[in-house]
Chain A
């Protein structure tokens, strides 16, 4: 029945790449509920489960809250557990997500970015991942279909590492990536097994055992609570190095490396920098290349790790630059700017100097982040770098 060829390049969507990524990591338990623009992930995994292409427990649930509770419980029992959601589905499982993080259950979840409730929009936008920013999950962001597949594999490697034991969300833009079909190199199960085999050499993580009384975060009073929270924070601190290391290991194994926490593209000799994430990075690369040819020393920072925020590495890249632009596909309510912008402002003490920072809000609700928009952003950042006054936050279009 297994019609899946082991190794080849296929033209597939971002959603299909995510499904392949999950399949290749051979999850024990999958529980997910379909929602636009994620449905294809769930449909594909259900189809493979039905035809025997993947050997897992597939739990059909009546909603996302149950899906998260199922994968949390399965993970605590020692399973490799996977789910996928988007927008309304993500916020519908919020309480369960907090449990998964608090219980240190290393679930891997895809979140296909879509505008969450408030103004009903079946449209792309990163606001959903911002809603769960402080849930204690690790959050990664992919730029293209190949990276969705590769980062799915890295996500399991990261979540289940004995030094981490945290749930991981892999985010990618709805529509612009979920439905985008590109050529994707699909590795074999054996290759992925090999990459993940290091996890088997590590001490076994504590799991629920029927009949045995083990506390897993269900109650914590006073010092026990504080200890658990502190350990969670410490694990997030270890994520930084681990993300860089496993990306380097991945490059060794598959010949594709992405820079770990972030990618600094043409930043070394740059005077000005644009910081962004997700599908907008691809478009921004083309604009940066064109501007470089025209003699503008502009660089691009791609944020791959959103939680924990890559404080040290980002500060190192930005130090000494003359002006910085930050392009956000979501809003930071209460700060009057975008979330990546707010987080970049927060590292000014780490950078150790004041640098003009210009925020740009674009790409909400499927609005296209065009080359022309990014050109305008670079014009504004360049102008600020020359000492001209600038607008702190600009909404496009």
Chain B
């Protein structure tokens, strides 16, 4: 496994930017080179936010946005209807989706695998607010196997402490355990 590119789609306040950073830290714990940044204009709650995370075994030099992702993470289920969502997805691509039910159709011909979890429901149970980001990171670990759950849980500790850390560890672990993986033969 060499370079992978991940594009996260969320809304301001849901933790897309934080999730992208946590994911980068988790890969860094496993010795990978990482680079992550969000792209938005004004900081506004509820506005669509995109964040990019790269990891590689080699040094990452490019400072561009991501146009051909290996993986898409959709933190807000309403963004599934975004007409440009699947733009550039590589063949064999993966989708990590916050949704209360699996996909009924195959939304992109390059999509091979979807990890679906009702992360909003889990976040409301575990955190008490709709912050589904860490739950979806657990789902990513389960769906891709690109990193270990322990690395992710360790990385959460770089950003959170006290009860918020405990709640998010439960949130991520439940994401890992409760994700349903759908696959298509391409």
Interface assignment of B185: CB less than 8 Å from any CB of chain A:
no
Interface assignment of A235: CB less than 8 Å from any CB of chain B:
no
Q: Once the chains bind, are B37 and A283 in contact (CB under 8 Å)?
A: no
Nearest opposing residue in chain B for A145, CB measure? B35
Q: Which of A357-371 contact B (CB under 8 A)?
A: 366, 368-371
Kindly list chain A residues whose C-beta atoms are within 8 Å of the C-beta of B12.
Answer: none
Of A13, A183, A282, A369, most B-chain CB atoms within 10 Å: A183
Given A282-B63, A283-B63, A285-B61, answer yes or no on A122-B41 (Cβ-Cβ < 8 Å): yes
Q: Once the chains bind, are B41 and A282 in contact (CB under 8 Å)?
A: no
Q: Once the chains bind, are A283 and B62 in contact (CB under 8 Å)?
A: yes
Nearest opposing residue in chain B for A144, CB measure? B63
Nearest opposing residue in chain B for A366, CB measure? B39
Query: In the complex, what's the smallest C-beta–C-beta distance from B25 to chain A, in angstroms?
Result: 5
Kindly list chain A residues whose C-beta atoms are within 8 Å of the C-beta of B43.
Answer: 36
CA distance A9 to B24 in the complex (A): 13
Interface assignment of B94: CB less than 8 Å from any CB of chain A:
no
Q: Once the chains bind, are B38 and A179 in contact (CB under 8 Å)?
A: yes
* Contact pick for A11, options B41, B64, B158, CB 8 Å: B158
* Contact pick for B63, options A10, A36, A176, A181, CB 8 Å: A176
Q: Once the chains bind, are A183 and B33 in contact (CB under 8 Å)?
A: yes
CA distance A176 to B39 in the complex (A): 8
- What interface size band does chain B fall in? 20 to 34
Q: Once the chains bind, are A282 and B62 in contact (CB under 8 Å)?
A: yes
Query: In the complex, what's the smallest C-beta–C-beta distance from B16 to chain A, in angstroms?
Result: 12
Q: Once the chains bind, are B64 and A182 in contact (CB under 8 Å)?
A: no
* Contact pick for A123, options B37, B41, B60, B64, CB 8 Å: B41
Interface assignment of B36: CB less than 8 Å from any CB of chain A:
yes
Interface assignment of A303: CB less than 8 Å from any CB of chain B:
no
A 1-26 to B, binary, CB cutoff 8 A, 1 in contact else 0: 00000000111010000000000000
Kindly list chain A residues whose C-beta atoms are within 8 Å of the C-beta of B39.
Answer: 175, 366
User: Known contacts A9-B28, A36-B43, A370-B67; can you find 16 more A-B pairs with CB under 8 A?
Assistant: A11-B24, A11-B34, A122-B42, A179-B37, A180-B37, A181-B24, A181-B35, A279-B63, A280-B63, A283-B64, A286-B62, A368-B65, A369-B64, A370-B65, A371-B62, A371-B64
- 29 A-B contacts (beta carbon < 8 Å): A10-B158, A11-B34, A11-B158, A13-B21, A36-B42, A123-B41, A175-B37, A177-B63, A179-B17, A179-B37, A180-B36, A181-B20, A181-B24, A181-B34, A181-B35, A181-B37, A182-B60, A183-B28, A183-B34, A282-B63, A283-B63, A283-B64, A285-B61, A286-B61, A366-B41, A368-B64, A369-B64, A370-B64, A370-B67
